Amino acid sequence: MPRRYQPPFQITSQTLNLVAQISELLGRWSVSGQAALAPRLRRDNRIRTIQASLAIENNSLSLEQVTAVLDGKRVLGQPREIQEVRNAFVAYEHMANWRPQSREDLLTAHGLLMAGLMDAPGGFRRGGVGIYRGDQLMHMAPPASRVSSLVDQLLGWLDRTDAHPLIASAVFHYEFEFIHPFADGNGRMGRLWQTLMLGRWQPMLAYLPVETVIRAQQQAYYSALAASDKASDATAFVEFMLHALHAAMAEAVLPSSAAPTPVSGKMSGKMSGIILAAVRRQPSITIPELAALAGVSTRTIERHLRELQIQGALRRIGPAKGGQWEPA
């Protein structure tokens, strides 16, 4: 009998801490009554998710334009980008009907997500594929002849794993991107399927726009994928995704004064160091980018920025909105 596939990853202390903190935030969200989101807020969060996930794939439509498309209004934009938005909304609306471990549902989802955007949506690729950033080859996916069996092995692991759903969903996301089973749409499919897994575990997570955090820290997202490729181990990507989930949860649940730090209670001094180092490297860095980098809410970053200004460690250059920061 062939050996069952086990994706390589490690359960680190950071992983365990983040899982515990996300679970605590979920508990607070549940008892606060916010988990039962009003239909309008669910739709708004879904639109934020779609806009951010497509923006990662270079769709240029703004949040306002995506909202207009889904409201049936006329939008000046590329027909392909408008079609991507419509497809994504249909796919996310069907998500509740799918089983994460089902090959048939996976192919159906891809068919909806990529309808009219490529030849033979809903079918595995038939040729080789490499992932490039500019002229640099970042990842060479397995040959097409292996895709079907690799996907079946991964889905089989997902069906039987006892890993925590937060961890299992991130491992699946990484492994899916490594296999790159489709000719196009793999990134948005990986994020969709992780949302499906999380929503099956905790229904409120189906409407958590974690993609907005990933979009704000897109380079770190790619770096985590590359680090896991290099190590032949999903751990780096799992930790990145848990940080992103923590940041999205903190944004959804906590006021700025209550937002916890992601790894330990010693983060206050570390937070200042993270902010100052990031500002030195990139004075134009935005608050959402800082939040994603640190794994906390934007309100927490705003509070730390104010404290650093009061301490005289940081000063703003230019207008209050759209300006830059520099160490004092």
- Ordered by start, the domain boundaries in the chain are 13-253, 267-327
34 vs 19, more confident: 19
Contacts of 85 (CB under 8 A, 6+ apart): 50, 51, 54, 59, 61, 66, 69, 70
Q: Cβ of 206: how many Cβ atoms within 10 Å? A: 21
Q: What are phi and psi of 72, to 5 degrees?
A: 80, 15
Tens of pLDDT, residue by residue over 151-174, are 999 999 999 999 999 999 999 999
* pLDDT (0 to 100) of residue 314: 78
Q: What CATH number does the domain located at 267-327 have?
A: 1.10.10.10
Q: Taken in order 103, 105, 106, 108, is the CA torsion positive or negative?
A: positive
Comparing 5-14, 106-115, 242-251, 269-278, the range with the smallest average pLDDT is 269-278
- Nearest Cα to 171, choosing from 8, 14, 12, 26? 8
Tens of pLDDT, residue by residue over 182-198, are 999 999 999 999 999 99
- The H or E element that residue 309 is part of is helix 298-311
Cβ atoms of 202 and 189 within 8 Å: the answer is no
CATH superfamily placement of domain 13-253: Fido-like domain (1.10.3290.10)
Comparing 192-196, 234-238, 254-258, the range with the smallest average pLDDT is 254-258
How much is the pTM?
Answer: 0.77
pLDDT of 145 over the 80 cut: yes
Percent of the chain with pLDDT over 90: 59
Provide the residue count of the chain: 328
